Structure 1
Amino acid sequence: MHDITGKRVAILATHGFEQSELEVPLNKLREAGAEVHVVSLEPGQIKGWDKKDWGRPVPVDKTLDEASADDYDALVLPGGQINPDLLRVETKALSFIKDFWTANKPVGAICHAPWLLIEVGIVKDRRITSYHSIKTDVMNAGGRWENSEVVTDQGLVTSRHPGDLDPFCEKLSEEIREGRHERRAA
């Protein structure tokens, strides 16, 4: 992991996030020196999904009403089937994601989280990986889907599945350390 001391990272999630896809980046990025906040729709706790059943709750640090992309250097979007499906109908969540992208800040998305990238229109002409079941969704949105563990395209870091998230965290920390990314028009 790259040293990202002093950087601030938001993890946007709600109930039904895949447990490891929130907890592993949360812990790894904190170990690398970042201040990491879990941002959600409501205060309190959100409950994860751990493979085949409900997992552990995770405390919410800030609600979307309290958070702004201006306060952070990067964004992480955990997957799971439930979490991104619930978030992609929430206007505030979509605006939050779009604000990071518009500001040229790194965005990381795991597994099913590219659904959120599709919803905000940032997949077109980008190299992306995702869980295989949403490959067609990515391609229909104009993304160039790759069957790779991790794909990076101009500050956008995507991971195929929640297996070993170390390569995803490594690439994301590298992108965070590099800072803002000028992006060519899609």
Structure 2
Amino acid sequence: MANNTDKQLNGKRIAVLLTDGFEQVEYTGPHDFLEEHGAVLTLVSPKCKGEQVQGMNHKDEGDKFDVDLAVADAKVGDYDGLLLPGGVANPDELRIDKASVAFVKAFAEAGKPIAAICHGPWTLIDAQAVKDKQMTSWPSLQSDLRNAGAQWRDEEVVVDGALVTSRKPDDIPAFNAAFLKVLA
């Protein structure tokens, strides 16, 4: 547990956009880290407040988490940053949800910090937020990102301005540290 001197993000509000099929550790790892540093996180989803989203531990069902706010009701101005966990099904569903894509696009257009891990960058493609960006992701997304104009690199974390990307759960410590630095 962090002490008061570690509260670098005190008062910062972070939206976490996800739906069923997210890689659980890509939510819980950054969530707990950011919370320990003083951030307040809101689970935003295409689902309604009070419904639950299903986490995954690779291909096995993990825990369920309560939705704090429907993405249709979320306002980008209420948040200092956006976290996009991966998992295969999660971003695949988000990228076809108009409200989710608009929410991500508004963050990008506002120049607010966005952190996406693993398959999370898929939603950034549909939000037209990757052109000319240095990025990384799960390896299977590299062609998608390059075709959308990103410059893909195979590194544990890549920071391009306010955009932080990582490849996989093993990269979470570097991902967390980079997102903390961008937010603070």
Superposed counterparts of 1:16-31, under 5 Å: 16-31=21-36
**Structure 1 stretch 146-155 or stretch 36-45: which is displaced more?**
36-45
Please report the TM-score for the alignment, with normalisation by the length of structure 1.
Answer: 0.92
SS in 2 for 1:9: strand
Pick the aligned partner of 2:80 from 73, 78, 82.
Answer: 73
Pick the aligned partner of 1:10 from 12, 15, 22.
Answer: 15
Distance in 1 (CA, whole Å) between partners of 2:143 and 2:110 is 28
Pick the aligned partner of 2:97 from 90, 110, 125.
Answer: 90
Unaligned runs of 5+ in 2: 1-5
- Percent identity over the alignment is 43
Unaligned runs of 5+ in 1: 178-186
1:33-79, Cα deviation, whole Å (9 max, x unpaired): 00111101113210111112111001111111221111000000000
Could you say which structure has the greater relative contact order, defined with CA pairs below 8 angstroms and 6 or more residues apart?
1
RMSD: 1.1
Runs of 4+ residues over 6 Å off in structure 1? none
Flag the structure with higher helix content: 2
SS in 1 for 2:14: strand
Q: Is the 8 A contact 1:2 1:174 kept in 2?
A: no
Amino acid at match of 2:105: K
Aligned length: 177
Distance 1:2 1:143, change over 3 A: farther
Distance 1:162 1:154, change over 3 A: same
